[in-house]
């Protein structure tokens, strides 16, 4: 049995039927982390001892015939902005180096209760700001398909770790594409659930009206399996969705005859890399053969999504990150002067990209700027939402690329910030709308880099989204290509 090739459901039954022990599974992944992560650098913290102890505890319980939680022994790892009591949570920033939370995030509680074993915390762009992983204070995660290329961001470690089989599944966060874009660059599945579907309690906030946690997995089937654990109502998160779905995994249905896929007219412009374009068009053909109907739609405000996102996200950042001032959390500058504590701490411990966004956000929230920038951005956000509402009258899902290019070289786009921001063109609008979307692998470039296909759905349309992505993965084998 090749454990690395098992789906999460298969791994669960192998564990339940004692064909494999939880300790064997955990050791297999820990060995791979030890062997490969010195090159890939996906992990910021590996919790080897506690993972082995948990695995052993479940094995003993199974041996004694005791009841174990449903997913007892399945390894998982977390983007390092999800707070944990017994592991540091750094947000990849000097500001939170060695910071331990007093409580576990709601999803950590859910995962532990379901029996998942947390192998560690994963690298990311600092405070989730970036598209390449390069803004991490600690290290640059590499793309496992080509170590000279970025893995995407900001959930860089989550995507790279799953792609390199260092962990079977991971959690990321998506404020403007940070689950989907790195998943696309690393050839794995990345799901941004509907806003409120997964509790955000204990996820360090970047932009609270856009942030969403979700899975990065090898297949849509695995992502659906994990979503069954994560889609719980959280009374302590006021934005948590009260409606709890039955089971996404059980209800997966690859028969998508009659599904209407909207192809936006203005999406596949000349700015899209030709190899990405042809992979997306080939995926459209696969869908036609599966019985889907392709309808042409318009997303008239797609091109202003980035500007609106920048205004809203940065405004929220300036407020959300104000708490990192040297008093309560993490780093404190070496001074006893109160005023200096604030400025020096923030000056020393926040990265350049983070400071840039805080400054911009603070500027646009000033009284004489507020109407001009923030209020106007909120109005255009409504227009973008209208575009989605109109589109979903004509189609069930929107199909297109995840990003306009495959993974780029380190240092490449970070030299021109505008180019880096434009990288999010296809992903940010979905967060402004609040609905769900996924990136699935749909091909490789001539030099062997993965290409991501994005499917976007309506609010709470996860099941439709999962079925469509699952049907595509049943019909193709891009997700089966091996790296290491
Ligand atoms: N890449 C985007 C940015 O830099 C998205 C970040 C995210 O989704 N967290 O803001």
**pLDDT tens digits for 177-195?**
999 999 999 999 999 999 9
| Number of domains the chain is built from | 1
Residue 433 C-alpha to ligand 1 middle, in angstroms?
15
Residue 152 C-alpha to ligand 1 middle, in angstroms?
10
Give the domain extent around 176. 3-256+461-480
Per-residue pLDDT tens digits for 419-447: 777 789 999 999 999 999 999 999 999 99
pLDDT at 138 over 70: yes
Q: What's the chain's average pLDDT?
A: 96
pLDDT at 44 over 70: yes
Question: What angle (nearest 5°) sits at the alpha carbon of residue 155, between those of residues 119 and 12?
Answer: 40
CA 227 to chain centre: 13
In a domain, 444, yes or no: no
pLDDT at 455 over 70: yes
Instruction: Work out which ligand 1 atom sits closest to the CA atom of 310.
Output: 10
In a domain, 423, yes or no: no
In a domain, 192, yes or no: yes
Proportion of the chain above pLDDT 90, given as a percent: 94
Work out the average pLDDT over 75-80: 98
In a domain, 117, yes or no: yes
Per-residue pLDDT tens digits for 355-383: 999 999 999 999 899 999 999 999 999 99
Token duo for residue 308: 């609106």
Report which protein residue has its CA nearest ligand 1's atom 1.
131
Report the distance separating Cα 280 and Cα 294, nearest Å: 13
**Residues facing 400 on adjacent strands:** 454
Report the distance separating Cα 212 and Cα 214, nearest Å: 7
Work out the average pLDDT over 248-271: 93
Work out the average pLDDT over 36-65: 98
Pocket around ligand 1 at a 6 A CB cut-off: 128-131, 154, 174-178, 206, 424
Is the overall model pTM greater than 0.95, yes or no? Answer: yes
Work out the average pLDDT over 342-357: 97
Q: For this structure, is 132 an active site residue? A: no
Work out the average pLDDT over 297-310: 95
CB 394 within 8 A of CB 295: yes
pLDDT at 418 over 70: yes
Report which protein residue has its CA nearest ligand 1's atom 5.
176
Token duo for residue 259: 């599904």
Per-residue pLDDT tens digits for 205-216: 999 999 999 999
* Ligand 1 binding pocket mutation candidate from 136, 424, 429 (most atoms within 8 A of CB): 424
In a domain, 333, yes or no: no
Report the distance separating Cα 166 and Cα 176, nearest Å: 26
Report the distance separating Cα 254 and Cα 473, nearest Å: 9
Q: Tell me how crowded residue 394 is: count the other CB atoms within 10 A of its CB.
A: 13
Distances (CA, A) of 375 to 311, 321, 356, 368: 9, 21, 21, 12
CATH number at residue 75: 3.90.1300.10
In a domain, 75, yes or no: yes
pLDDT at 417 over 80: no
Confidence (pLDDT) at 39? 98
Residue 428 C-alpha to ligand 1 middle, in angstroms?
8
Residue 241 C-alpha to ligand 1 middle, in angstroms?
23
pLDDT at 312 over 90: yes
In a domain, 360, yes or no: no
Among candidate residues 12, 41, 79, 142, the one labeled active-site is 79
Work out the average pLDDT over 189-204: 98
Proportion of the chain above pLDDT 70, given as a percent: 99
Instruction: Work out which ligand 1 atom sits closest to the CA atom of 131.
Output: 1
Cis peptide before 104 (omega within 30 of 0): no
Among candidate residues 154, 156, 429, 435, the one labeled active-site is 154
Q: For this structure, is 79 an active site residue? A: yes
Work out the average pLDDT over 22-26: 98
Read off the pLDDT band of 484 (50, 70, 90): low
In a domain, 30, yes or no: yes
Instruction: Work out which ligand 1 atom sits closest to the CA atom of 175.
Output: 8
Confidence (pLDDT) at 414? 60
CA 118 to chain centre: 17
* Residue 263 dihedral angles phi and psi, to the nearest 5°: -110, 110
Among candidate residues 93, 131, 155, 178, the one labeled active-site is 178
Confidence (pLDDT) at 135? 97
């Amino acid at each position: 049995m090749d454990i690395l090739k098992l789906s999460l459901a298969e791994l669960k039954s192998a564990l339940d039927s004692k064909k494999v022990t939880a300790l064997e599974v955990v050791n297999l992944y820990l060995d791979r982390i030890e062997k490969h992560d010195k090159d890939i650098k996906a992990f910021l913290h590996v919790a080897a001892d506690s993972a082995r102890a948990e695995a052993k505890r479940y094995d003993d319980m199974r041996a004694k015939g005791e009841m174990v939680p449903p997913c007892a022994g399945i390894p998982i790892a977390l983007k390092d902005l999800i707070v944990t009591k017994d592991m540091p949570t750094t947000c990849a920033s000097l500001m939170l180096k060695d910071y331990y939370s007093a409580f576990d995030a709601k999803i950590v509680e859910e995962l532990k209760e379901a029996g998942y074993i947390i192998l560690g915390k994963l690298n990311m762009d600092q405070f989730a700001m970036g598209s390449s992983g390069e803004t991490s204070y600690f290290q640059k995660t590499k793309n496992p398909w080509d170590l000279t290329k970025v893995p995407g961001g900001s959930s860089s470690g989550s995507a790279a770790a799953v792609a390199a089989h260092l962990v079977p599944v991971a959690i990321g966060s998506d404020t403007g594409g940070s689950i989907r874009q790195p998943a696309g660059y690393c050839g794995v599945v990345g799901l941004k659930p509907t806003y409120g579907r997964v509790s955000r309690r204990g996820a360090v906030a970047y932009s609270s009206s856009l942030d969403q946690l979700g899975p990065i997995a090898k297949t849509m089937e695995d992502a659906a399996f994990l979503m069954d654990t994560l889609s719980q109502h959280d009374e302590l998160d006021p934005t948590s969705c009260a409606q709890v779905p039955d089971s996404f995994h059980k209800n997966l249905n690859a028969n998508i005859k009659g599904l209407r896929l909207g192809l936006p007219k203005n999406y596949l412009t000349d700015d899209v890399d030709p190899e990405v374009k042809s992979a997306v068009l080939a995926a459209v053909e696969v869908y036609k053969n599966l019985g889907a109907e392709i309808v042409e739609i318009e997303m008239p405000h797609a091109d202003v999504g980035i500007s609106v996102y920048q205004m809203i996200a940065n405004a929220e950042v300036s407020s959300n990150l104000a708490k990192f001032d040297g008093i309560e959390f993490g780093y404190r500058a070496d001074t006893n002067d109160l005023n200096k504590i604030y400025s020096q701490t923030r000056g020393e411990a926040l990265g350049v990209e983070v400071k840039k966004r805080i400054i911009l956000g603070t500027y646009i929230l000033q009284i004489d700027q507020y109407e001009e920038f923030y209020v106007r951005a909120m109005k255009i956000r409504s227009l973008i939402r209208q575009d989605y509402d109109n589109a979903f009258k004509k189609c069930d899902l929107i199909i297109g690329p995840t990003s306009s290019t495959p993974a780029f070289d380190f240092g490449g786009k970070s030299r021109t910030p505008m180019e880096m921001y434009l990288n999010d063109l296809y992903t940010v609008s979905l967060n402004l709308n609040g609905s769900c979307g996924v990136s699935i692998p749909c091909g490789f470039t001539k030099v062997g880099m993965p290409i991501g296909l994005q499917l976007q759905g309506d609010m709470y349309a996860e099941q439709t989204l999962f079925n469509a992505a699952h049907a595509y993965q049943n019909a193709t084998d891009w997700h089966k290509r091996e790296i290491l």
